Structure 1
Amino acid sequence: MSAVDDEADMCCAACGIKQLDNIKLKNCTACHLVKYCSVECQKNHRKQHKKECKKRMAELRDELLFKQPESSHFGDCPICFVPLSIDINKSALSSCCGVFICDGCSYANQMKDARSKRDPVCPFCRQPYASSNAEAERNAMKLFKAGNLTAIRQKGCEAKIVHNYGRAMELLTKAANMGDAVAHCELANMYGFGGGVEKDTKKAVYHWEEAAIRGNPEARFNLGVNAARNSKFDRAVKHWIIAASQGYDLALEKLTEWYHMGTVRKEDLTSALRAHQAAIDSTKSPQREEAATADRSC
């Protein structure tokens, strides 16, 4: 930064007053590019600054959006601390505590209970498992009323399945406002595909982006599809590479398809293949392999 730029940075962008001991300047809350001495000055300067502000906001949004997430939206199993698979069918939700546990830990706990001939208990909270569907529903309702995020999202998803879209929107919006990636993705799908609500691509993209930022690969894949439909091919490929690196099969299939079309570079596909396999391998454990083998033998 030059001396002139540095001096300008220490002045109010509207009135030009310098920052002194008794005058504190504050950054534009949206872009942080300029400073103001008061809310009034910020309002007065809005017309001149609006275009630059929106451009910088879009750049900041993309920086956040295309940052590789540290893990998937499901995180790690709270028992073995191995990343949970993005395949929800490989985890079990405990109605007693509202926690997702990997199949490996769930199976190991079942075997331990069987050997000790004790009543089955949750491996996380150690409370007895529900003895019936009715009891499991009562447990889930207790969590829901207590404001448990997972329970709220699950109720929203259940409402969507039975086409109670008004209730689904209410609960999924509540869960999304609490930061839930799955809820954001479900809302995006409703807006994007017209599931019970009027299609609204702008709202769909917003919720897909929020879900993707939080590590949801399905939302990331859908962003790629939307980008491709709008001829933003480089953007689509970026999304699919990240989704593939999270172990999302459809993204890898799309990259492979576009490679044969000449749209994706060989080095990008090779990197995505390796990252995809690494993501899958990171969710493996001896206990999970044992559980999968036991399931196949049933």
Structure 2
Amino acid sequence: MGNTKPTCPYCRTPIPETQAEADRNSMKRAEANDPVAMRQMGANCAFNEGDYSAAFEYWTKAAKLGDVEAHNQLSIMYLNGSGVDKDEQKGIYHLEVVAIGGHPEARYHLAMQEGRNRKIDRSVKHLIIVANLGHDKSIQKLMLAYKAGRVDKEEFAAALCSHHAAMVAMKSPQREAARR
């Protein structure tokens, strides 16, 4: 009847039976410059072993290969000073890459960072973009900006309409069932 052993849905190789075998496979993928494998190796180093310098190396390599989530991890490291010297400029650079990559939460954090740096116009633009994607916290912040006179009525109304449209577009019977 054939092989009944479970296989990877992508490469069809048998799923590793031991953690050591899985670690060898991950290392092999990382050595082959697979950015996802490098990101996962970095996460393992940081979150399981507490080795932020090794995580930084893996995430830097993965980011150079275009992995957006690796940029996200680097932004967190630089903004918090976790395992590296705190560097707001580098943190914002990586956060911008993640935001451009389409990560709504990263764009929201970028908006908050710009607000802390008193770049209110840039912060509002980021909030409008992410509100258009249906991000709830951003519409709340835009409402505060509107009340403070930082956003005009038309901009706020347009963002509110776009936010609502995005929320409606995301509704589906499957999501409702999962929520329950």
- TM tier, smaller: 0.7 to 0.9
Which residue pairs with 1:154 in the alignment? 40
Q: Which runs of 5+ in 1 are unaligned?
A: 1-117
Structure 2-normalised TM-score? 0.76
Q: CA deviation at 1:243?
A: 2.1
**In 2: Cα distance, 1:119 partner to 1:247 partner:** 42
Structure 2 CA distance, aligned partners of 1:170 and 1:192? 17
Q: Pick closer, same or farther for the CA change 1:280–1:294 going to 2, 3 Å.
A: closer
Report which of the two has the higher share of helix.
Answer: 2
Segments of structure 2 that go 5 or more residues without pairing to the other structure are none
- Are 2:42 and 2:57, in contact at CA under 8 Å, matched by a contact in 1? yes
Q: Which of the numbers 108, 111, 115 marks the counterpart of 1:224?
A: 111
Structure 1 residue corresponding to 2:81, chosen from 194, 212, 222: 194
Residue deviations 1:236-280 (CA, integer Å, cap 9, x gap): 000111122234333233223323444333433333344345545
1:145 alignment partner in structure 2: 31
More strand by share: 1
Question: Which fold has the larger relative contact order, with Cα–Cα distance below 8 Å and residues 6 or more apart in sequence?
Answer: 1
* Fraction of identical pairs, as percent: 42
Name the structure 1 match of 2:58: 171
Q: Distance in 2 between matches of 1:278 and 1:143?
A: 41
Number of matched pairs: 175
Contact 1:182 1:216 in 2 (8 A): no
Which residue identity lines up with residue 123 of structure 2 in the other structure? A
Which of 232, 238, 247 is residue 125 of structure 2 equivalent to?
238
Equivalent residue number for residue 12 of structure 2 = 127
1:167 shift after superposition:
0.7
Between structure 1 and structure 2, the one with the greater Rg is 1
1:212 matched to which residue of 2? 99
Distance 2:13 2:167 in 1: 32
Compared CA separation, residues 284 and 294, structure 1 to 2 (3 A):
closer
CA 1:209/1:294 → structure 2, altered by over 3 Å: closer, same or farther? closer
Q: Could you tell me how far apart the structure 1 residues matched to 2:156 and 2:65 are?
A: 35
What code does the residue aligned with 1:160 have?
Answer: A
Equivalent residue in structure 2 for 1:263, among 121, 137, 150? 150
- Root-mean-square deviation (CA, aligned residues, Å) is 3.2
Listed one character per residue, the Cα deviations across residues 205-235 of structure 1 (whole Å, up to 9, x for unaligned) are 2222222222232332222112212222111
Give 1:90's aligned residue. Answer: none
- Contact persistence 2:35–2:63 (CA under 8 A): no
- Once the 2 structures are TM-superposed, how far is the Cα of residue 174 of structure 1 from its aligned partner? 0.6
Letter in 2 for 1:253: Q
Q: How does 1:54-69 map to 2 (within 5 A)?
A: none
Q: Which amino acid aligns with 2:12?
A: Q
TM-score (norm 1): 0.49
